[in-house]
Amino acid sequence: MHGKNPERVPGSFRDPGSHVYLLEESVYRSLTPTAAAAFEAVRRTGVLDSLISERWIVRTETVDPGVLGEIGQSATLVLQHEKVPFLSYPYEWSFAQLRSAALFHLDLHLRLLEYGITLNDSTAYNLQFVGAAPIFIDVTSLRPYQEGEYWQAHRQFCEQFLHPLLLHSVLGIPHNAWFRGNLDGLPLDQMAALSPWWACLDWRFFLHVVMQNRLQQWAETKRDTAAARVRRHGLSRTAFMALLRQLRRFIKKLAPRHPKGSTWGEYATHNTYEAGESEAKRKFVGSFIQRARPRLLLDLGCNTGDYSVVALQHGADYVVGFDADQQALNAAFHRSHREHLAFLPLYQDLANPSPDQGWKQLERSGLGNRARGQALLALALVHHLAIGRNIPLDQVINALIGMAPRGVIEFVPKADPTVQKMLALREDIFCDYTSDAFERLLGQQTQIVEKQTISASGRTLYAYELL
C-alpha cells in the first residue's frame, strides 16, 4: 500500500468510464464496469499486447485496486501505465510532428480494425512523443467494433489533425497559436471559410473540408440529411478502412508552406562563430553534461538540435528542446527520428509560453508546471529575451534558473554582430545589458562554477549551480 494519496489528473475528467491518477511517479487509471468490460474484450483479441510490445501503446498492466486506496475500492479494474518522459500537447508540436502523429493515429486505427477493434475518439491529446516516436496513451479509447458503424470521430480527427496541417500547408500559417487558442483544434466551419478556391480543386480537400462542412450545415437545418443517411445505413469495415487509407495518403503528401527564408532555421550552419569557437562551445557543454549527468535536460532555443545531441553524447538521458522557429523545429524532429535520439523538440515562444488552460485552467498544464529538469542549456538565448522582447535581465535570469538547479547560460554582449543587427533599427535603451550586470545577477542566486569566453566578440558561457 502506498503512503501517499493519489492525485487525480484534472484533464482526465472527459472520459466518464475512467479516471487517471498520479501516485509517486506512477500513472494509474481506474475503470468503471462498462469501461472494464470493453478493456477485457479488447485484451482478449491479443492486439493490445501486440501493440504494447511494439511500442505503439504505452506499457499497461492490471494491478491490485488497493494501490489507489479508497478510490480503488470503487473501481472495477485499475491499470498502471508507464509514464512518458515529458508531457506535450499538439499546439506545441511542429508541422512534422503533427503530421507524424496523424499518420500514426490512422495506422493504429487500421491495425485495430483488422482485429475487430475501433477507437471511441480521434483526439490528438491521446498521443504523446518519446523522442520522435509517437505513442498512444489512452487504452480506454479502444473498444469492440460494430459492423456497419459510422466513423463518428471523423470530424474530430479533421479538426485536430487535418485542418491544422492544411492551415500550414495551404495558407502558410503555423497551427500552434490557433490550436492553443482553441483546444479542440481548428473548427470545420472556420477551415472552410479560410479555404482558397484553388485548394478546393483537390477532391480530397473538397471531401474532408468543403463537403463535410456542407453536410454539417444541412444536419443543423434538416432532419434527413446525407450524413444522417450514412449513419443510418452504416459503413462497412472495408469502406471504413478504405477511407482511413485515403486520408492517410492525403496527409502523407502534405508539406509546410514556409515564407522565403527562416530567421533561425539555418543558424546551425550560418552563424557568427568561427570553427574553433564552435568547438570550444561544444567542449564546454560536453564537460558540463559529464559532470551533471541529468536525467532530463531542457535545451532552450534548441534550433536544429546540435547541442542537444552533444548533451546526449556526453551522458544526458533525455533532452527536451524548445524553439519558436518552425523550419528549425521540423529539421530537429526529422533529425531525432532519423538518428533515433532521446530528443523531443517542441514549439515554444519562451516570452509567451504555454499557459494553464482548459476547464478551470487545469485541463492542460502550462509549461511552467512541466518544464522542470535536472539541468538546462540556454545558449544564444538571453539577448533575444532581454533585447528582442524587452524583458528585464534579472527576470530573464530568474526564469532560467527556476527551470533547473544547474545549467549553462550563454551571454552575448552588445559588441556581438548578432546583437548589433538587433539594435540597428531601434534605440538602444538597454543600459543594464552588460556582462558585468549579467554576472552579478547570476552570482546573487547561484554559484558560477565555470566561465569561458568563446568568441572574439565576447560571447561567454557560464555554468551555474543553485546556492
Question: Do 388 and 412 form a contact (C-beta atoms < 8 A)?
Answer: no
Helices (H), 139-236: 154-157, 163-171, 176-181, 188-194, 203-205, 212-221, 226-233
Distance between CA atoms of 346 and 349, rounded to whole angstroms? Answer: 10
Distance between CA atoms of 14 and 394, rounded to whole angstroms? Answer: 41
How confident is the model at residue 289, as a pLDDT? 98
How confident is the model at residue 212, as a pLDDT? 77
Q: 10 vs 20, 95, 135, 190, CA distance in Å? A: 8, 27, 21, 29
So where are the chain's domains?
7-81, 90-252, 275-466
Grouped pLDDT means (10 residues each) for the chain, 467 residues: 76 88 92 96 97 98 94 93 97 98 98 97 97 97 94 93 95 96 94 84 80 74 56 80 95 84 50 74 98 98 98 98 97 98 98 96 95 97 97 97 98 95 91 96 97 95 97
DSSP 10: G
Distance between CA atoms of 35 and 40, rounded to whole angstroms? Answer: 9
How confident is the model at residue 78, as a pLDDT? 96
Q: Which amino acid is at 318?
A: Y
How confident is the model at residue 271, as a pLDDT? 52
Distance between CA atoms of 43 and 219, rounded to whole angstroms? Answer: 37
Find all residues with CB under 8 Å of 331, minimum gap 6, and list them: 265, 304, 305
Length of the chain: 467
Question: Do 357 and 123 form a contact (C-beta atoms < 8 A)?
Answer: no
With cell 489528473, the residue in question is 9
How confident is the model at residue 207, as a pLDDT? 79
pTM score:
0.92
Q: Which CATH number applies to 275-466: 3.30.110.40, 3.40.640.10, 3.40.50.150, 1.10.10.10? A: 3.40.50.150
Dihedral sign for Cα 9, 10, 12, 15, please.
Answer: positive
How confident is the model at residue 293, as a pLDDT? 98
How confident is the model at residue 223, as a pLDDT? 56
How confident is the model at residue 229, as a pLDDT? 56
Q: 245 vs 102, 208, 281, CA distance in Å? A: 12, 13, 47
How confident is the model at residue 264, as a pLDDT? 46
How confident is the model at residue 227, as a pLDDT? 52
Could you tell me which residues are beta bridge partners of residue 160? none
